[in-house]
Structure 1
Amino acid sequence: MTKTLFNSSAARITRVYALMLVIVTLLTSAAVISYAGANLIHVRQEATESTMKGLKRSFIGDRSMWNWWRFSRANDTKNTFIRVITNPVHKKGQTFYSKNAQRFLKKSKAKPSDPLLLGHIARSKNNVYYYHLKSVTKQDVKENETGVQYDVWLRLDDVIDLMGKIVATILGIALLSFIIGTALIYWVAKRLNRPLVQLTRSSKIHTKDVETAGTAQLPVPKTPQEVHDLSIEFNHLLASLNQRSEADRQFVSNASHELRTPIAGIRGHVEMIKRHGDEHPEIIPTSLDFIDKESKRMQTMIENLLKLSRASQRSLALSDVDLSETVTGIVERYRDGLKRPIELAITPDVKARTNADSVQQILVSLLDNAQKYSPTGSDIRVGLTSDGQYAIMTMADQGRGITDNQKTKVFDRFYRVDQEIPGNGLGLAIVKQLVVSNHGQIKIVDNAPQGSIFQVSFPISM
Structure 2
Amino acid sequence: MNDAQKLAHEIQSPLTSLEVQLRTLIEESPASTAIENCLHEVEALKSLVTRFLELDMPVAPHDPWPLSAVLARIERRFRPIAETRRIRLEIDPTEAEARGDPLATERILANLVDNAIKFSQEGGLVRVLVQHEDSHLHIKVSDEGRGIPSEARERIFEPFFRLDREAPGAGLGLAISKRLAEAQNGTLQLDGTGKVGVCFLLTLKSP
The TM-score range, normalised by the shorter chain, is 0.7 to 0.9
Q: What residue number does 1:407 align with?
A: 153
Deviations 1:177-224 (A, max 9, x none): xxxxxxxxxxxxxxxxxxxxxxxxxxxxxxxxxxxxxxxxxxxxxxxx
Dislocated runs of 4+, deviation >4 Å: none
CA apart distance, 1:341: 2.1
1:375 has 2:121 as partner: yes
**Partner-residue secondary structure (3-state), 1:407:** helix
1:193-232 → structure 2 map (5 Å cutoff): none
Say which of 433, 441, 445 aligns to 2:191.
Answer: 445
TM-score (norm. length: structure 1): 0.36
Say which of 26, 30, 39 aligns to 1:292.
Answer: 39
Say which of 75, 78, 92 aligns to 1:332.
Answer: 75
- Does the 8 Å contact 2:70/2:102 carry over to 1? no
- Does the 8 Å contact 1:374/1:398 carry over to 2? yes
- Partner Cα separation in structure 2 for residue 440 and residue 301 of structure 1: 26
**5+ unaligned residues in a row in structure 1: which ranges?**
1-247, 264-283
Q: What residue number does 2:204 align with?
A: 458
1:303-314 → structure 2 map (5 Å cutoff): 303-310=50-57, 314=58
CA apart distance, 1:401: 0.8
CA apart distance, 1:449: 6.3
TM-score (norm. length: structure 2): 0.76
CA apart distance, 1:321: 1.8
Deviations 1:432-456 (A, max 9, x none): 1110111101111237761100100
- Partner Cα separation in structure 1 for residue 135 and residue 109 of structure 2: 21
- One-letter identity of the residue aligned with 1:399: G
- Partner Cα separation in structure 1 for residue 185 and residue 206 of structure 2: 11
- Does the 8 Å contact 1:396/1:447 carry over to 2? no
The root-mean-square deviation of aligned C-alpha atoms, in Å, is 2.6
CA apart distance, 1:306: 1.8
**Partner-residue secondary structure (3-state), 2:156:** helix
- Partner Cα separation in structure 2 for residue 378 and residue 321 of structure 1: 31
Identify, as 1 or 2, the structure richer in helix: 1
Q: What is the identity percentage for the equivalent residue pairs of Structure 1 and Structure 2?
A: 26
- Does the 8 Å contact 2:147/2:195 carry over to 1? no
Say which of 413, 424, 427 aligns to 2:170.
Answer: 424
- Partner Cα separation in structure 2 for residue 424 and residue 315 of structure 1: 22
- Partner Cα separation in structure 1 for residue 54 and residue 44 of structure 2: 15
- Partner Cα separation in structure 2 for residue 328 and residue 305 of structure 1: 25
- One-letter identity of the residue aligned with 2:45: M
- Partner Cα separation in structure 2 for residue 332 and residue 368 of structure 1: 11
Say which of 88, 93, 112 aligns to 1:341.
Answer: 88
CA apart distance, 1:328: 3.4
- Does the 8 Å contact 2:61/2:99 carry over to 1? no
- Partner Cα separation in structure 2 for residue 364 and residue 458 of structure 1: 16
Higher RCO, Cα 8 Å, sep 6+? 2
- Does the 8 Å contact 1:398/1:447 carry over to 2? no
Deviations 1:301-355 (A, max 9, x none): 0111122222xxx3422321222x1343123311224443201234x33222121
**Partner-residue secondary structure (3-state), 1:454:** strand
**Partner-residue secondary structure (3-state), 1:412:** coil
- Partner Cα separation in structure 2 for residue 386 and residue 298 of structure 1: 40
CA apart distance, 1:383: 0.7
- Does the 8 Å contact 2:59/2:104 carry over to 1? no
1:48-127 → structure 2 map (5 Å cutoff): none
- One-letter identity of the residue aligned with 2:61: A
1:317 has 2:61 as partner: yes
Deviations 1:358-379 (A, max 9, x none): 1111111111111111112311
CA apart distance, 1:285: 4.2
Distance 1:455 1:287, change over 3 A: same
- One-letter identity of the residue aligned with 2:80: D
**Partner-residue secondary structure (3-state), 1:411:** coil
Q: What residue number does 1:216 align with?
A: none
**Partner-residue secondary structure (3-state), 2:60:** coil
- Partner Cα separation in structure 2 for residue 294 and residue 349 of structure 1: 43
- Does the 8 Å contact 2:127/2:142 carry over to 1? yes
- Partner Cα separation in structure 1 for residue 89 and residue 65 of structure 2: 23
- Does the 8 Å contact 1:401/1:446 carry over to 2? no
- Does the 8 Å contact 2:136/2:205 carry over to 1? yes
**Partner-residue secondary structure (3-state), 2:64:** strand
Distance 1:398 1:386, change over 3 A: same
Distance 1:332 1:342, change over 3 A: same
**Partner-residue secondary structure (3-state), 1:455:** strand
- Partner Cα separation in structure 2 for residue 397 and residue 460 of structure 1: 25
CA apart distance, 1:286: 4.4
Distance 1:369 1:392, change over 3 A: same
